[in-house]
Amino acid sequence: MLFRKEVNEHQQNHWTGKALLLAGWPVWIVTSLTAVFIICLLIFLIFTNYTRRINVSGEIITQPHSINLFSPEQGVITKLYVDTGKRVKKGQPLYEIDVSRVTQAGNVSTTTLAAIKKQREQIDSIVAQLEHNKQETLQNLQQQLEQYEKAHQVSQSMVDSAQEGLDAMKKSMQNYGAYQKKGLINTDQLNNQRYLFYQQQTSFQSLNTQAIQEALQITNLRSELVTRAAEFDNQISQYGYQRNDLERQLAQADAKGSLLITAPTSGKISSLSVTPGQMVNAGDSLAQLVPASNSPFFLVAWLPNESVPYVKAGEHINIRYEAYPFEKYGQFPGKVESISSAPVSEQELNSYASAPRTANGMVSGPYYKVIVSLDKKAMDWHGETLNLSSGMKAESTLFLEKRPLYQWMLSPYYSMKKSVVGPINESR
């Protein structure tokens, strides 16, 4: 051992310096500061409120809603008649779709159309010939009728003259009979007068018979004129029915060859989904049409079932558009106009792209539809007008219940109390 035991103990217990003891804060100061902190904390927890909020998805719509046009059949877009943003009228063509089928014999629709058009031309030719024959036949019958009417007038005049001559001859014969009784004339003279009377009577009957035959012929011609006209009209009508059937077949064949997509109502084209040359299937979206010319924009949002009691019409919300990132453009104001009184059906939810969906794309849970009006003035950003369009997605912040902070801190207690409480109608 190099040093003695006492030396080692001395070195271990020896102070290398002087110890300086500082006096701490007085107890009353520490107590006062602690009390002030606790009082401030209690005041903050009691008198400070916090509003619970929820973020919901939504999209821009118009009132009335925009109309989505879909392809009725599979085909190829051959023509585009409008551009995005153009105003259209009801019935105005938008697209033409070729839906024809091709076989070894060629294009089925084209071949069918050609055959039907040829049949239609043949029927048109037959109808034109019938119209010509009708005109010629009726004209000939009319000429015969006019000739018979003129001849009948002459014959009737001759009958009237013969009737007058017959009456005169009869009177003369009666006078001759009286003369013969008086002995003024002999029997031969009387017989000669009778012969002249009967000859005049025969001539009258012949003329009268001719006049009657002419009257009958006139009646027959008039009847034949009506009958032949009806026969021609009946034939023309039959061919007209055949032509109408061909027109129907032609329309069906034309529909099988090409389809014309027209505007169901007047409005403005907000978007076009396909271009000429593109193939579409049945149900594919073609275009979106905003019906009214100056339709205001609204925001439709989907509110969960548990948040409905806290949202009222007239409340203000914050909106963030996907097209205008809030990091740059900030948030935009909106006002709740209405809330549906019943959950939205699954069919209606599926018609909106912004509807809440699960990972597999299915709509789950009840949601209520909220219509929010937008402030046009708020869409001006540094002198630039931010344009909205139907279908633009957005996220909204809705403000729900407002409570003091201490009540939010005690929320777990309320939850625990709810889990252990018995039936509320339990008799005591």
Neighbours of 40 (CB within 10 A): 10
| CA within 13 Å, CB half, 288 | 12
Residues 120 and 252 in one domain: yes
Residue 369 lies in a domain: yes
| 8 belongs to a structural domain | no
Please indicate, yes or no, whether residues 315 and 392 belong to a single structural domain of this protein. yes
Closest listed residue to residue 315, CA positions, set 295, 294, 339, 297: 339
More confidently predicted of 82 and 214:
82
Whichever domain contains 208, its CATH number is 1.10.287
Q: How far is CA 172 from the centre of its chain?
A: 96
Task: Assess whether 120 and 249 both reside in one domain.
Answer: yes
Q: Is residue 93 part of a domain?
A: no
Mean pLDDT calculated for residue range 181-190: 71
Asked if residue 353 and residue 232 are part of one domain, the reply reads: no
- Mean per-residue pLDDT for 133-153? 83
In this model, does residue 103 exceed pLDDT 60?
no
Cα 421 to chain center, whole Å?
A: 57
Position 2 pLDDT exceeds 70 = no
Position 106 pLDDT exceeds 60 = no
Rounded to whole angstroms, the Cα distance separating 43 from 34 reads 14
In angstroms, the CA 311 to CA 351 distance is 24
Number of DSSP helices (H) and strands (E) in the chain, helices first: 8, 18
Cα first-last separation, the chain: 88
The pLDDT of residue 372 is 92
205 lies in the same domain as 252: yes
Domain count for the chain: 2
The reply to whether 182 and 240 lie within a common domain is yes
Residues 357 and 250 occupy one common structural domain: no
The residues pairing with 397 across neighbouring beta strands, listed in sequence order, are 55, 318
- The encoded tokens of residue 147 equal 């000739």
d(CA 268, CA 289): 6
45-54 per-position pLDDT tens digit: 888 888 888 8
Mean pLDDT of the region 105-118: 68
Provide the whole-model pTM: 0.53
Residue 256 has pLDDT above 70, yes or no: no
Task: Please give the pLDDT value at position 148.
Answer: 78
In this prediction, residue 16 carries a pLDDT of 67
The share of the chain scoring above pLDDT 90, in percent, equals 6
3 has pLDDT over 70:
no
196 confidence band (pLDDT: 50, 70, 90):
confident
- Report if residue 334 sits inside a domain: yes
In a domain, 427, yes or no: no
User: Is the domain of 224 the same as that of 321?
Assistant: no
Q: Is residue 355 within 8 Å of residue 391, measured between CB atoms? A: no
For residues 351 and 346, give the distance between their C-alpha atoms in angstroms, rounded to a whole number: 9
In a domain, 32, yes or no: yes
Residues 235 and 378 in one domain: no
Of all residues in the chain, the percent with pLDDT exceeding 70 is 84
| pLDDT bracket for residue 207 (50, 70, 90) | confident
Q: Of 391, 356, 397, whose CA–CA distance to 62 is shortest?
A: 391
Burial (CB count <10 Å: 0-12, 13-18, 19+), residue 91: exposed
Q: Are residues 329 and 388 in the same domain?
A: yes
Domain for residue 14, yes or no?
Answer: no
- Spatial neighbors of 223 by CB under 8 A, at least 6 apart, are none
Provide the pLDDT for residue 117: 81
Question: For position 428, what pLDDT does the model report?
Answer: 47
- The domain boundary, picked from 209, 233, 257, lies at 257
> Could you tell me which of 259, 250, 248 has the C-alpha nearest to residue 117?
250
Least confident of 182-186, 342-346, 398-402: 182-186
Residue where one domain finishes, among candidates 257, 288, 313: 257
| Span 302-356, pLDDT tens digits | 998 888 888 888 999 999 999 888 888 888 899 999 998 888 888 888 878 888 8
Instruction: Say whether both 402 and 301 belong to one domain.
Output: yes
The letter for the amino acid at 258 is S
My answer on whether 196 and 339 are in the same domain is no
Nearest Cα residue to 145 out of 210, 216, 208: 216
* Range of weakest confidence among 6-20, 65-79, 361-375: 6-20
Q: Is the pLDDT of residue 101 over 60?
A: yes
- Quote the distance between the C-alpha of residue 125 and its chain's center: 40
* CA pair distance 45, 344, nearest whole angstrom: 39
- Here the tokens at position 26 are 């007085």
Q: Across all residues in the chain, what is the average pLDDT?
A: 80
For the segment 221-249, what is each residue's pLDDT rounded down to a tens digit? Answer: 888 888 888 888 888 888 888 888 888 87
Segment 128-156 shows an average pLDDT of 83
CATH number, domain of 300, equals 2.40.30.170
The pLDDT tens digits of the residues spanning 263-295 come to 888 888 888 888 888 888 888 888 888 876 667
H/E run at residue 220: helix 187-257
Two structure tokens written together for 406: 């201490």
| Apex 182 CA angle, 178 and 183, nearest 5 | 115
pLDDT tens-digit profile of 72-100?
Answer: 888 888 888 988 888 888 889 998 887 76
Domain contains 289? no
pLDDT digits (tens, 9 = 90+) for 310-322: 888 899 999 999 9
Q: Which domain holds residue 339?
A: 25-63+296-417
